[in-house]
Structure 1
Amino acid sequence: MSKTLNGEVIAITRPIERSKYAVDIVKEFGGVPLVVPTLELKLTCTESLMELCQNLNTLDWLIFTSPASVESIFKFCPDFKEKLNPECKIAVIGPKTGNSIESKGLSVEMMPEEYTAEGLLDSFKEFDIKEKNIGIPRTLSARKVLPDELISRGANVFVAEAYQSIIPEKTSLINDLIKKIIDKEITAITFTSPLTVENLFNIAEERQKDLKNVLSQKDVLVAAIGPITGNKLQEYGIDALIPEKYTVQDMMLKLFDNM
Structure 2
Amino acid sequence: MEKNENKIIVAITRPFNRIDEAVSIVESHGATPFIAPTLELKLSNTESLKALVELVNDLDWLVFTSPTSIESIFNFYPDFREKVNENCQIATIGHKTEEVAAQYGLTTDLIPEDYTAEGLLKAFKNINIKNSLIGIPRTLAARDTLPEGLEKMGADVILAESYESIIPLDTVRIEVLIGKILSSEIDAITFTSPLTAENLFKIATEEQIPELVNKLSKNVLTVSIGPITYKTLKNLGVESIYPKKYTVKDMMELMFENL
Fold-level match, TM-score > 0.5? yes
**Aligned-pair CA distance for 1:35:** 1.0
**Aligned-pair CA distance for 1:88:** 0.2
More contact order relative to length (CA 8 Å, sep ≥ 6): 2
**Aligned-pair CA distance for 1:78:** 2.2
SS at match of 2:165: strand
Matches within 5 A, 1:16-31: 16-31=16-31
Paired position in structure 1 for 2:217 = 216
2:116 pairs with 1:116: yes
Paired position in structure 2 for 1:13 = 13
Q: Distance in 2 between matches of 1:239 and 1:66?
A: 26
Instruction: List runs of 5+ in structure 1 lacking aligned partners.
Output: none
Paired position in structure 1 for 2:199 = 199
Q: Distance in 1 between matches of 2:107 and 2:157?
A: 21
Q: Distance in 1 between matches of 2:256 and 2:14?
A: 18
Could you tell me which amino acid in structure 2 is paired with residue 169 of structure 1?
A: L
Paired position in structure 1 for 2:154 = 154
SS at match of 2:205: helix
Could you tell me which amino acid in structure 2 is paired with residue 135 of structure 1?
A: G
Q: Can you list the C-alpha shifts for 1:187-226, whole angstroms capped at 9, x where unaligned?
A: 0100000000000001002211110111122x01100000
**Aligned-pair CA distance for 1:22:** 0.3
Q: How well do the aligned residues superpose, as a CA RMSD in angstroms?
A: 1.0
Could you tell me which amino acid in structure 1 is paired with residue 257 of structure 2?
A: D
Matches within 5 A, 1:1-259: 7-206=7-206, 207-217=208-218, 219-259=219-259
**Aligned-pair CA distance for 1:48:** 0.1
Q: Can you list the C-alpha shifts for 1:136-178, whole angstroms capped at 9, x where unaligned?
A: 0000000000000101111010000000000000001100000
Q: TM-score, normalised by structure 1?
A: 0.96
Q: Distance in 1 between matches of 2:50 and 2:6?
A: 50
Percent same amino acid among aligned pairs? Answer: 54
Q: Distance in 2 between matches of 1:165 and 1:211?
A: 23
Q: Distance in 1 between matches of 2:212 and 2:173?
A: 16
Q: Does the 8 A contact of 2:233 with 2:240 survive in 1?
A: yes
Q: Does the 8 A contact of 1:6 with 1:30 survive in 2?
A: no
Q: Does the 8 A contact of 1:131 with 1:156 survive in 2?
A: yes
Q: Distance in 1 between matches of 2:237 and 2:56?
A: 44
**Aligned-pair CA distance for 1:105:** 1.6
Instruction: List runs of 5+ in structure 2 lacking aligned partners.
Output: none
**Aligned-pair CA distance for 1:6:** 6.6
**Aligned-pair CA distance for 1:99:** 0.3
**Aligned-pair CA distance for 1:250:** 0.5
Q: Does the 8 A contact of 1:56 with 1:84 survive in 2?
A: yes
Could you tell me which amino acid in structure 2 is paired with residue 61 of structure 1?
A: W
Q: Distance in 2 between matches of 1:6 and 1:21?
A: 23
